[in-house]
Amino acid sequence: MNRRHKLTAQQTLDITQKLKDSKYITYNRSDCSYLSDEQFNDAPQVVAALKTLDVFNGLTTDTAQKSAAFDSKKVTAHTAIIPTTNMPDLSRLTDKEKAVYLAIAQFYLAQFVAKKRYDESIAEIKCGDEMFKVSARKTTDAGFTTFLNDAEEDDEEDENSTAFEAISRLQTGATLTCREVVISEKKTKPLPLFTEATLLAALVRVADFVADPRIKKLLKEKDKDKKDEHGGIGTPATRAAIIETLKTRDYITVEKGKFIPTAAGLALIDALPDSVTQPDMTAVWAEKQAAVETGEMTIERFIDGLYAEVSRLVESADIAISATEKQPVKTALNRLAVKCPSCGSELVMTPKTCACTGCQFKIWLEVRGKKLTEKQAEKLIGKGKTDVIKGFKSKKNDDTYSMIVTLKNAQTGELGFEYPPRDPLKGLNVSMPKELKL
């Protein structure tokens, strides 16, 4: 709804709540994508009711066609959101209400419209010791995709009829000539800023953003019974509220449909313990809850551990707040004199980072045990490298050494290091006369 109709998650939730209260749709706070077998039996009545609306009148459907969406074994606490047999007067709905209702109705009716059909050509080509695989599709019957008419649905497979025809002409065992090999040099780009739609999608698959294999596995196991969810944060009802809270508290702002963290938001993340800002805690508590379910842990032990962890976090927060109060507040949100090398926006310096207010550029101020000063950070970003800095700590022992910090990637903030130039006379016993007379 956000991509096509520019509705926020909260607006969509409010509208579906109103539609549900009017008994036009089923329970609206469900995160399930499946329907029960009983609902399949009720489909003829629901489809017939929907066809009384002018917008669906004349649509060809087959209520005997049972799609994969109807599976009682995959239904969780609630089924997917679908229309009821109680039809609204579309003329009395607002444009936004009508858009939401029709989207729900369209996706329900799509279960009974002809399936999309296509031909696919696949070829495996051996070049030297390497095997390459290429494929292409050609649609023969658009089916339900024509009916949905881009209703928030993206075709995951790129269709290329020219490529399909070319691959189809290949013969098994044929010998081809490799005419040209091209190596393209490209630069990595920072991840795009979140929109309302992409952030909501990310909140249901947090495991995709986790590098730790154990945490990733725990997050996926937490949602193993939920389609397309991998360590989801929140529920369909609370995710909208989470985003709205970030907006109202001025932690994020919206510019051209994209979410941008504010200076206050960046400072908040820097002030919080790392365990609170990472999804690891979600995975760990899910693991403990699973242990309670299997009897490996008592509920009392679980609650005691929860209280202990919360107490520890509160104490660490109190200490951080006390330390912050001793300094002027403006130091946490100090703006640098240089601009972001990636997008040209303002840079904000917090106790831990120097981050852009307009994109995802960020550098960590503590490098190998040495914290960069404001002037060093400004020179690093503005000139691409610092002067020689002393005091970097060795990982092997307590020795310190000097280095030049470089900005390796101006898009992401990745840092590099250079050894300072060596003095060719260092270590040699050479005396130079103070004054030469000719």
Tokens 């649609």 locate to 139
Cα 373 to Cα 48, 347, 377, distances in angstroms: 70, 14, 6
Distance from the first to the final alpha carbon of the chain: 87
Q: Where are the beta strands (DSSP E) in 54-129?
A: 117-127
Cα 55 to Cα 12, 115, 425, distances in angstroms: 21, 21, 87
- Sheet containing 334-339, strands listed edge to edge, beginning at the edge strand earlier in sequence: 334-339, 346-349, 353-356, 362-364
Task: Assign residue 334 a region (left: φ > 0; alpha: ψ between -120 and 50; beta: otherwise).
Answer: beta
For 239-295, the DSSP string reads: HHHHHHHHHHTTSEEEETTEEEE-HHHHHHHHHS-HHHHSTHHHHHHHHHHHHHHHT
Structure tokens at 199: 């952030």
CB 201 within 8 A of CB 31: no
CA pair distance 278, 259, nearest whole angstrom: 19
CA pair distance 267, 245, nearest whole angstrom: 16
CB 35 within 8 A of CB 88: no
* 27 in active site: yes
Tokens 């649905």 locate to 153
Task: Spot the catalytic one: 27, 118, 251, 307.
Answer: 27
Angle at Cα 191 formed by Cα 189 and Cα 195, nearest 5°? 140
Q: How far is CA 319 from the centre of its chain?
A: 32
Tokens 């490996």 locate to 296
Residues acting as catalytic residues: 27
